[in-house]
């Protein structure tokens, strides 16, 4: 597609929030810190945030709840990553999938240290850290993190070396070290080194004339000790492994060696005339959180770009070394990096197992989960012709409930926007973008729409963590194409997943909408589990029009027809519905609460769940990551069950469902139950009204939390126990496998 440069229709800006009092008082002035398996699910409020229990119980009276009712969020996150590690350790997991889970574990832990640990250290250093909601002092929290992370990293190295690498070798995929290579392989790699690696290496000496060099975050480095044969003096030097090189290089077919081994084997080429005495691999993790002052809305883009440059030089929070490192070299690194000994993690090499992701992508289908290709949703499929479906016509007939990746993203959400861009009757498209792919067909469709003269409004969240550079690029590209680009409200991230299309139909205008739980990201939509609603319902269309007007202008509307919107009324809306279930239960009507989210830590909502449990209402929680709920405590939460599911897809949808006295009420959308989502983000839940759709979602939630489904169960002590077999020792089925089978049967495959 040829991109045209057009005059700007609207100036990129961040809209200041309407001047209105908060319904809940001032939000907490706590720095945002973040992380989970999916970068979008961050750690929210700080570990030291104080409890904010909901005022009043189900009957309006304040019920006293025990002080130790919340689980520690840091331990909960580490327990989540331990579940990822258990998938890598599980012999029932296909071998290359185990390799991928090792990579995911390592990547998760990197982000946890870059943001969560870094934020906690910063608050301790500045004296603003207070006790966590569990009553633990911040220093004790930090020490627990070091202890558990060290144990998990040791387990990861053992899993890689003793199991995964050996089993890969049995399958003809060899992950070797330099001494394991044949002479011919070493000769071949020497040639590769001279041609493609040596020219980009820069050894940096450390001596009185050369200060200790800056070590960039997550880079692999060689600490090299050399001796001058003329003087006998020893010298230290650092060699950075170029980040653009592949982590594992192929020595011969299906035989791989870490790139740092190749560099280490040829250090003499870098230090001609010197004796190379020793070398050691190390890796530094730095604080990569962002702190952007948003008081000056017009300069937000420039301020963010400046802060992204500063982030590269954040203080170190972890030093990884191979356990064979020389003590003198380690002392030098600790001293020069100004890092504590407790922050040094010595493990067997190789370091940085995130690079195993490339090995996991090898074309060996027999070592992976059986292939599954998503199909077009049956309400959008053209049965009698090969032409693309008319999505607008389908939506005039009924709402469409999408479940990715079981339903194709490209033939549903992507097709919806592409059809809107090409349709001459479409007058306007309004869209939020939090994350998208590098070659995004969504962005291309929006540009095409602007090129054809349609009004296109795009709200790009340029503060989406670790996607800031990409989103700044998209914002500028969209603006140059003639789209109106805004960055949302000052002080609030826009995390909701919304599309609105306005179409001329005869004498009337009709609005078509999509509200989802996941990003408009065609690539992650193939392995992120998400829900979405495509609808032509006038109430949803009117709600989204009002909300987009608030995001792009100065609209003050806070009450919606089929939406709950944070930070104004989402928490209160959920709490009111939990209390309503207590009323239904006391009246003898069907009552229950089922929730599915990535993280559940908001104390006010959790307290209402405790009170519902005390009243006898059954509560089922399906949490992927952090969960501060303490289930199964007599007198407090014996009616609460908490489950977690891991598998080939990353569980990412957020759903909140209620028994409703026999008429179930179901909401889906973007928010997790975290302080940042409910207080410092624009988040949206949409009410699902179609009875068949409500039934589909409530069955999904019931299946995912059932004792007969493979999952992890959370106990009152905060420990997660895996339930993978029944009482007879037969494997339990994963809910993802059930859904895949259901889709295959529906297609007759």
Binding site for Mg(2+): which residues?
Answer: 435, 465
Element (H, E) at 572: helix 570-586
Direct distance between the N- and C-terminal alpha carbons of the chain, in angstroms, rounded to an integer = 36
CA 592-594-595 angle, to 5 degrees, is 150
What's the token pair of residue 174? 């060899």
Q: Please give the distance of CA 366 from its chain centroid, rounded to a whole number.
A: 28
Cα atoms in the Cβ-side hemisphere of radius 13 Å centred on 288: 21
Q: Which residue has the tokens 């992507």?
A: 414
CA 445 to CA 438: how far, in whole Å? 14
* Calpha distance 323→321 (Å, rounded): 6
Distances (CA, A) of 679 to 93, 174, 181, 602, 616: 39, 50, 56, 10, 30
| Rg over CA atoms, the chain | 27
The contacts of residue 604 (CB under 8 Å, 6+ apart) are: 52, 53, 54, 571, 575
Query: What is the Cβ-side half-sphere exposure of residue 179, based on CA atoms within 13 angstroms?
Result: 0
Q: Residue 552's Cα: distance from chain center in Å?
A: 26
Within 10 angstroms of residue 253's Cβ, the number of other Cβ atoms is 7
What is the Cα–Cα distance from 624 to 722, expressed in whole angstroms? 14
Q: Which two tokens stand for residue 366?
A: 């027999």
Cβ distance 701 to 683 under 8 Å?
A: no
Residues forming the annotated binding site?
108, 435, 465, 528, 624, 652
Alpha-carbon separation of residue 64 from 584, 610, 612 (angstroms): 22, 11, 13
Catalytic position from the list 279, 280, 377, 495: 495
What is the largest distance, in Å, between two alpha-carbon atoms of the chain?
A: 93
Residues 6+ apart with CB under 8 A from 351: 220, 281, 282, 283, 320, 321, 322
Do 481 and 450 meet the contact criterion of CB atoms below 8 Å apart?
yes
Which residues are CB-contacts of 493 (< 8 A; sequence separation ≥ 6)?
A: 461, 463, 464, 676, 680, 681, 682
Encode 78-104: b = buried (16+ Cβ within 10 Å), e = exposed.
bbbbbbbbbbbbeeebbbbbbbbbbbb
User: To the nearest 5 percent, what fractions of the chain are helix, strand and coil?
Assistant: 35, 25, 40
In the numeric block, which tokens belong to residue 253?
């077919």
Q: Are 635 and 677 in contact (CB under 8 A)?
A: no
Residue 495 known to be catalytic:
yes
Pairing verdict, β 275-286 and 248-252: unpaired
Residue 558 phi/psi, 5° resolution? -125, -20
Give the torsion sign (CA, 601, 654, 20, 551): positive
Let me know if 107 is exposed, middle or buried by CB neighbors in 10 A (0-12, 13-18, 19+): buried
> Does residue 686 sit in helix, strand or coil?
strand
Neighbours of 550 (CB within 10 A): 21
Written as six digits, the tokens of 716 are 């009152």
The residues assigned a catalytic role are: 495
């Amino acid at each position: 597609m040829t991109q045209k440069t057009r005059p700007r229709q609207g100036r990129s800006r961040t809209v200041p929030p309407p001047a209105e009092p908060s319904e809940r008082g001032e939000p907490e002035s706590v720095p945002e810190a973040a992380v989970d398996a999916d970068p979008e699910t961050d750690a929210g409020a700080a570990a030291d945030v104080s409890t904010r229990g909901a005022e009043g119980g189900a009957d309006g009276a304040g019920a006293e709840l025990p002080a130790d009712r919340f689980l520690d969020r840091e331990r909960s996150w580490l327990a989540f990553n331990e579940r990822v590690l258990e998938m890598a350790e599980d012999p029932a997991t296909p071998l290359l999938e185990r390799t991928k889970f090792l990579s995911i574990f390592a990547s998760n832990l990197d982000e946890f240290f870059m943001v969560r640990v870094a934020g906690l250290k910063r608050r301790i250093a500045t004296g603003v850290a207070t006790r966590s909601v569990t009553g633990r002092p911040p220093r004790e929290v930090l020490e627990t993190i070091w202890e558990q992370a060290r144990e998990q990293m040791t387990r990861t190295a053992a899993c890689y070396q003793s199991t995964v690498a050996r089993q890969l070798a049995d399958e003809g995929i060899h992950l070797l070290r330099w001494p394991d290579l044949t002479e011919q392989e070493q000769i071949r790699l020497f040639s590769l080194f001279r041609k493609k690696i040596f020219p980009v290496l820069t050894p940096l000496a450390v001596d009185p004339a050369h200060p200790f060099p800056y070590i960039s975050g997550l880079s692999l480095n060689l600490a090299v000790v050399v001796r001058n044969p003329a003087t006998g003096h020893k010298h230290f030097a650092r060699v950075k492994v170029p980040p653009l090189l592949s982590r594992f290089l192929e020595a011969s077919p299906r035989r791989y060696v870490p790139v740092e081994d190749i560099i280490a084997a040829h250090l003499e080429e870098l230090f001609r005339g010197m004796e190379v005495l020793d070398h050691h691999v190390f890796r530094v993790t730095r604080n990569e959180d962002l702190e952007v002052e948003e008081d000056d809305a017009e300069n937000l883009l420039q301020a963010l770009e400046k802060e992204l440059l500063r982030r590269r030089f954040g203080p170190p929070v972890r030093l990884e070394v191979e356990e064979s490192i020389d003590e003198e070299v380690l002392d030098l690194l600790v001293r020069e990096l100004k890092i504590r000994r407790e922050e040094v993690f010595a493990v067997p090499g190789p370091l940085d197992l995130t690079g195993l992701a490339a090995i996991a992508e090898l074309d060996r289908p027999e070592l992976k989960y059986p292939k599954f290709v998503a199909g077009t949703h049956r309400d959008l499929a053209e049965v009698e012709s090969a032409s693309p479906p008319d999505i607008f016509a389908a939506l005039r007939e009924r709402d469409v409930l999408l479940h990715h990746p079981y339903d194709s993203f490209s033939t549903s959400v992507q097709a919806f926007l592409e059809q809107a861009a090409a349709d001459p009757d479409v007058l306007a498209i309004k869209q939020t973008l939090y994350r998208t792919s590098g070659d995004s067909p969504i962005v291309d469709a929006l540009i095409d729409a602007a090129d054809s003269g349609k009004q296109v409004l795009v709200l790009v969240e340029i503060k989406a963590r670790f996607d800031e550079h990409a989103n700044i690029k998209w914002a500028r590209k969209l603006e140059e194409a003639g789209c109106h680009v805004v960055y949302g409200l000052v002080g609030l991230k826009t995390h909701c997943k919304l599309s609105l299309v306005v179409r001329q139909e005869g004498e009337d205008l009709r609005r078509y909408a999509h509200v989802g739980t996941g990003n408009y990201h065609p690539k992650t939509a193939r392995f992120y589990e998400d829900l979405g609603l495509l609808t032509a319902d006038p109430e949803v269309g009117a709600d989204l029009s009002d909300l987009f007007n608030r995001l792009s202008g100065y609209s003050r509307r806070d009450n919606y027809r089929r939406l709950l919107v944070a930070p104004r009324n989402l928490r209160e809306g959920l709490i009111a519905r939990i209390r309503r279930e207590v009323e239904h239960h006391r009246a003898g009507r069907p009552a229950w609460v089922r929730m599915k989210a990535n993280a559940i830590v908001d104390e006010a909502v959790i307290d209402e769940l405790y009170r519902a449990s005390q009243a006898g209402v059954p509560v089922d929680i399906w949490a992927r990551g952090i969960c501060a709920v303490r289930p199964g405590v007599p007198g407090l939460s014996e009616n609460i069950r908490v489950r977690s599911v891991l598998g080939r897809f990353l569980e990412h949808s957020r759903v909140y469902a209620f028994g409703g006295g026999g008429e179930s009420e179901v909401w889906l959308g973007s928010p997790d139950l975290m302080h940042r989502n409910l207080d410092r983000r624009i988040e949206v839940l949409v009410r699902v009204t179609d009875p068949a759709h409500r039934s589909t979602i409530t069955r999904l939630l019931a299946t995912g939390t059932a004792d007969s489904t493979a999952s992890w169960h959370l106990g009152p002590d905060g420990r997660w126990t895996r339930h993978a077999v029944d009482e007879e020792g037969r494997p339990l089925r994963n809910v993802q496998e059930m859904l895949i089978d259901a889709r295959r049967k529906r297609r007759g495959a």
